Amino acid sequence: MKIDSLPLPISLRTKYSALGITELYPPQAECVDAGLFERKNLLVAIPTASGKTLVAEMAMQKEISDGGKCLYIVPLKALAAEKYEDFSGKEVKVGIATGDPDQRDEYLGRYDIIVATSEKTDSLLRNRSEWLKRVSLLVVDEIHLIGDPSRGATLEMVIAKLRYQNPSMQIIGLSATMGNPEELAKWLNAQLITSEWRPVDLREGVYHNGAIHFHGTERIVPTPKKDDDLNLLLDTVEEGGQCLVFVSSRRSAEAYAKRAAAVLKKKSADLDGYAERIAKADTTPSGKVLANAVKNGAAFHHAGLPRPAREAVEEGFRKGDIQVIASTPTLAAGLNLPARRVIIRDYQRYEAGVGMSPIPVMEYRQMAGRAGRPRLDPYGEAVLIAKDRGAVDRLFEEFIDAPAENISSQCQKENELRNHLLALIATGFASTRSEVEGFMEKSFYASQKATHRRLDRNIGKALEYLVQSGMITEEADGSMWGTQFGVLASRLYLDPETASMLREMLEKQETFSTFGMLHLLCMTPDMFRFYLKASDERLVDQVFSERGDELWCEELSEEFFAAVKTALVAEAWCEEVPEEIICENFGVGAGDIHAVVENLRWLMHAAGRIAHEFAPRFDADVRDLEIRIENGVKAELLPLISLRGIGRIRARRLFNRGITTPEELLAADTRDVVAILGNVLAKNVLEQAAKKTGKTMEIAELPEEKNETVPATASEEAKPQKTLFDFGE
């Protein structure tokens, strides 16, 4: 089917043709035949890289030319940015939804396509963004994540709410191959498009003892080195291809990159350039390992890396300079970085309470699907490594020939149900018990397996919890509404349990404790916690015995100790301990510190709102701590940090010169101020200080900047980026 025969704007067809896209791939043509342009709902469950995004884009462009508005939901923030780039520059207005969870972001209504994560969309729905009612085409990327234990329920409820609100909306679900696509299609009232077609031939095989065994054939792999995973790399590089290696942990990814660099030994000015960018962006030990490996053509990639370092790796790989990336499996889903050979080295994973168990087949397929760069590679190869001869057949059975798993609704879980029922009631989607039940009867959960009785029983339990914790009230006539507390919790996007914990603890305390507050936040179900390693135990025990009286929570559980470690990292950040030292002391990466900071910023903000309602005596303490977390500063820098343009580094420099407040800034020798801030910023900051303190000051003449001024570098002064819903890993 020719692109030119499709009902698309001419400018778009010209763009496609310039990209070499003139004819639809077979599964894309099937989508058109199934009613893509007639506003039919579709579930497109086809392999990675077979052109799903293009299907969605064509539908969106057509919808916009008919006056519609499109919402494109993605699972990761990093993917939102990627899709934003993809859709931009094609004569439609594209927006990306980020920002604080309790905002409506009405400005997004101006765009034709809005790209957002499912969590952000949920929070927009909770805050009743008006423009959402005008969405006429919903695209859900990676819709199989409805079955994801941690995030599936939100995705399911977002789809259900949008459908309820906009009954005539077209829905296009894009999915990896799964076991039961028919069930999902039925729920979506969608035509199902499945296909095994791929743009590049994919060969899947198992390596053992010098050869890759494929179905029916073999490929001999030279073995100059003793390690299989390195020989497989060298073999591909030798014939001009690149490799992706999936391993189970960040540490393994780093170790592999180091070993690969030692055998590849590539050298080029481009590689040096990437290494330099990385070294600048990430000064931690892990950043150094990466920069050194990249110099020799090898890299790793995981969510612990700061974004500029990740970007350098991606660019270096896309341009063909970096030969191999070792990556953790969670990145397989989003990362659009195909390579000729994908080596799935670690196909077992440790699961708490279960031990080592094989990764899901769906996940294997997503990794394998990264093999083969369209138009660049003659074929793609996905290779599993067998430990012994007997494992070869087993790996074929377990992964290559195995059917993908079925996905199932996650709304049966108690905590998910509470959370989402609160949102339904607080946002006015349902205002009686029977409306709640009616809404849930249309869920994927109900359509899949729940009997009425079981569904109603679970709903009953969740509603009881919400009534008891003071979040909703129910009248004798069955009508329900969210209390002030319930509405606040829902708008702040908090798990009801988090909101209750914060309220209860803040109400109970007589005095404020910074460490107690941080630890409390780290105990909530909305905070991610570091795992405790054996080496952490002594440190955590010590803190527990020496600083027990600062802690507010008392339950001694595994979470409690993990929360102590996480709170210690946050505290170190607020005490201005340099990032490299934090990384070393706690065995974490720079990206982890940022993840803690981002997560805590949101929770501190929420805690501030709850304190304001229920424990206003802590208003100032909570606000100060929020600013300290945001900026990574000790309390003594708070007066200076309040000035725009002054971050942690500059504030510290001023402070160390004895300038500790805006007043002292005005009184100081301006030469000192200029020496630290530079001329332009000094003027601006002095003006702010004058305004703040109500003083007037003549600051027209500032002394010349001296050469020895060391300006804070951009990355030093950069505040942690606000990426509240980034579930990188």
The residues binding ligand ADP (CB under 6 A) are 20-21, 24-25, 28, 48-54, 374
**Alpha helices (H) along 575-713:** 579-586, 590-614, 619-631, 638-641, 648-656, 662-667, 670-677, 679-693
Structure tokens at 420: 């989402």
Taking the complex as a whole, the smallest distance from the CB of residue 94 to ligand ADP amounts, in Å, to 16
Shortest Å distance, C-beta 51 to ligand ADP: 3
Helix 590-614, helix 579-586: angle, nearest 10: 100
Q: How far is the CB of 665 from ligand ADP (least distance, A)?
A: 52
CA distances from 34 to 16, 191, 246 (A): 22, 7, 36
Q: Three-class SS of residue 469?
A: coil
Residue 495 corresponds to which amino acid?
D
Q: Report the nearest approach of ligand ADP to the CB of residue 367 (Å).
A: 13
Contact 672, 659 (CB under 8 A): yes
- Answer yes or no: are the C-beta atoms of 247 and 729 closer than 8 Å: no
Is residue 311 a contact partner of residue 319, using CB atoms and an 8 Å limit? no
Compute CA 654 distance to the chain's CA centroid, rounded to the nearest angstrom: 36
**Phi/psi of residue 71, nearest 5 degrees:** -120, 130
Q: What's the rounded Cα separation, in Å, for the pair 33 and 114?
A: 26
| Residue positions counted in the chain | 729
Compute the least distance from the CB of residue 86 to ligand ADP, in Å. Answer: 8
C-beta of 52 vs 529, nearer to ligand ADP: 52
DSSP code for 479: B
Helix, strand and coil content of the chain, in percent to the nearest 5, comes to: 55, 10, 35
State the distance between the two ends of the chain, measured CA to CA, in whole angstroms: 39
Nearer to ligand ADP (CB atom), residue 42 or residue 543? 42
Least distance to ligand ADP, CB of residue 463, Å: 40
Q: Which is nearer to ligand ADP, 358 or 374 (by Cβ)? A: 374
Query: From the CB of 543, what's the least distance to ligand ADP, in Å?
Result: 46
Q: Which is nearer to ligand ADP, 53 or 679 (CB)?
A: 53
Q: Which CB, 50 or 231, lies closer to ligand ADP?
A: 50
Beta carbon nearer to ligand ADP, 373 or 491: 373
According to DSSP, residue 535 is labeled: G
Measured between alpha carbons, how far is 36 from 28 in angstroms, rounded to an integer?
A: 9
Residues 6 or more apart whose CB falls under 8 angstroms from that of 613 comprise 484, 485, 488
Between 54 and 135, whose beta carbon lies closer to ligand ADP?
A: 54
Token pair of 146 as six digits:
């409805």
CB of 55 to ligand ADP, least distance (A): 7
Q: Would you give the DSSP letter of residue 349?
A: E
Residue closer to ligand ADP, measured from CB, 20 or 149: 20
Smaller CB separation from ligand ADP, 25 or 131: 25
Give the residue with the Cβ less far from ligand ADP, 48 or 631: 48
Q: How far is the CB of 333 from ligand ADP (least distance, A)?
A: 11
For residue 41, the 8-state DSSP code is -
Which tokens go with 269?
Answer: 């000015």
Q: Is 150 helix (H, G, I), strand (E, B) or coil?
A: coil
Cβ closer to ligand ADP: 52 or 609? 52
Closest separation between CB of residue 520 and ligand ADP, Å?
42
Contact 648, 637 (CB under 8 A): yes
Closest distance between ligand ADP and the C-beta of residue 199, in Å? 6
Task: Give whichever of 193 and 551 is closer to ligand ADP, judged by the CB atom.
Answer: 193
Which of 54/108 has CB closer to ligand ADP? 54
Q: Residue 218, Cβ neighbours under 10 Å: how many?
A: 11
Spatial distance between the Cα atoms of 283 and 193, rounded to a whole number of angstroms:
47
Alpha-helical runs (H) found in 104-225: 118-126, 152-165, 181-188
Distance CA 128, CA 103 (A): 9
Cβ at position 174, least distance to ligand ADP in Å: 7
Least distance (Å) from ligand ADP to the CB of residue 15? 11
Q: CA torsion sign, 699 to 700 to 703 to 708?
A: positive
Q: What is the largest CA-CA distance in the chain?
A: 85
Cβ proximity to ligand ADP: between 25 and 274 the closer is 25
Minimum CB separation of residue 87 from ligand ADP in Å reads 12
